[in-house]
Every structure is written in structure tokens, then in C-alpha cells.
């Protein structure tokens, strides 16, 4: 499981989506929240998805083929203040059109930094996923930055600010550095793609 991973292509225009249709798991969330790091740590392949300390690194939709079964799709992050208005609009449009029009998304992983409460753009994304009837999981990233006592408040503030979640306990904490949460995420992939 999650053994073979291969970069397929970068997409800047929805007309360029891969011709081969497969189920997709998409990674979405604010710029710098750790989407690309999540992909690398989950696959155990540092450097597969590009990471940088400069936010806004992922500027296009990147497709990775996993075990010849499904695509992991790294989406551009939103909400980086220094990005020009024109570029922000371009990415916002690309991501929202992608989510609302895709018929292949089986799961959206919405990453939120565990130290911050969901932003307005997180709330917009949450509503877009619900409207588009895309199943989603909320994962709190960078959990290595939290003290034990901060887990419960972090989970509750996320739960209280987003719609469509059944219980705060459904929210997973993840750390790309420590590997926390990896087993729980692997279990989800197992159930989606490998157990049948």
C-alpha cells in the first residue's frame, strides 16, 4: 500500500487534466499549511512534492499516480497575503472550478494548521466541498507544534467553525515531521483503495 508514486503532471488549466481517469484524493487548504509535506511524508518520498519556506510554492494542480490505482492531487494553497490580487483570483478560480466540476474526487483532505482557527477562506472551502458533495476529512497539520493540553481546544475550535463534521473526534492530528497521524490516514486509504 502507498508503495509506488510517480509525478504525472502539473495542470494550469482545467483543459489539461490527465486523459486517464482514476479516483482522486485531493489535498487542499491554506498556503503553507503543509499539503506538499503531507504528501511526501505519507508516501515516504521526500522531495516528490515541492516544499518551501516561501508560501505559495505550489502554483498549479499537481498529479501523482499512486500504485497505479488512484491520483493524489496537490492543489495550490490560498490566502497568502503577499500574492498579487490577480494571481489570487486565478488560483481561487482554478481550485473552485476544479472542485465543483470534477467527477473523480473520492476524498478531499482539508488541512488546517492546528495552531490557528479556520480562516474565512477555510470556511469557504468547507462550504464548497459540501455544496459539491465531495466527501472530506479535516486534518490538523503541524501537530508537533502543540502541547498536549492544546489538542482538545484546537480540535474543538475547528469543529465549531466548520460545517459537515459529525464529531470533534473525527478530526485527525498530523505531523509530517514526527509521522503522527500517518497510521490513521493510511487506514483511510486502505479502506478506499486496497481493501476490496
Angle of helix 35-43 versus helix 182-189 axis, rounded to 10: 80
Q: Which does 31 bind (CB under 5 to 8 A by kind): Mg ion, ligand GTP, none?
A: ligand GTP
Residues 30-59 that bind ligand GTP (CB under 6 A): 31-37, 51-53, 55-58
Is residue 182 a contact partner of residue 41, using CB atoms and an 8 Å limit?
A: yes
Bridge partners, 25 (sequence order) = 72, 107
* Minimum gap (Å) between residue 164 Cβ and ligand GTP: 22
CA 11 vs. chain centroid, Å, equals 16
- Under the binding rule (CB under 6 A), the answer on residue 176 touching ligand GTP is yes
By CB under 6 A, name the one of 62, 83, 126, 141 that touches ligand GTP.
141
Q: Cα–Cα distance between 149 and 48 in angstroms, integer?
A: 34
Which of Mg ion, ligand GTP, none binds 158 (CB below 5-8 Å, type-dependent)? Answer: none
Is the Cβ–Cβ distance between 115 and 154 less than 8 Å? Answer: yes
**CB of residue 81 vs ligand GTP: minimum separation in angstroms?**
12
Positions in the binding site for ligand GTP (CB under 6 A) = 31-37, 51-53, 55-58, 76-77, 141-142, 144-145, 175-177
Amino acid at each position: 500500500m502507498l508503495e509506488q508514486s510517480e509525478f504525472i503532471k502539473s495542470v494550469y488549466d482545467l483543459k489539461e487534466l490527465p486523459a486517464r481517469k482514476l479516483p482522486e484524493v485531493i489535498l487542499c487548504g491554506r498556503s503553507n499549511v503543509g499539503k506538499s509535506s503531507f504528501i511526501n511524508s505519507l508516501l515516504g518520498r521526500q522531495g516528490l512534492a515541492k516544499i518551501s519556506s516561501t508560501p505559495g510554492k505550489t502554483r498549479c494542480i499537481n498529479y501523482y499516480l499512486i500504485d497505479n490505482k488512484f491520483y493524489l492531487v496537490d492543489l495550490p494553497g490560498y490566502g497568502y497575503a503577499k500574492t498579487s490580487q490577480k494571481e489570487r483570483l486565478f488560483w481561487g478560480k482554478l481550485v473552485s472550478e476544479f472542485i465543483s466540476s470534477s467527477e473523480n474526487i473520492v476524498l478531499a483532505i482539508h488541512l488546517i494548521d492546528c495552531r490557528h482557527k479556520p480562516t474565512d477562506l477555510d470556511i469557504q472551502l468547507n462550504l464548497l466541498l459540501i455544496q459539491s458533495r465531495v466527501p472530506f476529512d479535516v486534518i490538523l497539520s503541524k501537530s508537533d507544534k502543540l502541547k498536549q493540553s492544546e489538542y482538545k481546544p484546537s480540535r474543538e475550535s475547528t469543529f465549531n467553525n466548520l460545517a459537515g463534521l459529525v464529531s470533534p473526534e473525527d478530526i485527525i492530528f498530523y505531523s509530517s515531521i514526527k509521522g503522527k497521524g500517518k497510521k490513521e490516514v493510511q487506514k483511510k486509504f486502505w479502506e478506499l483503495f486496497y481493501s476490496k
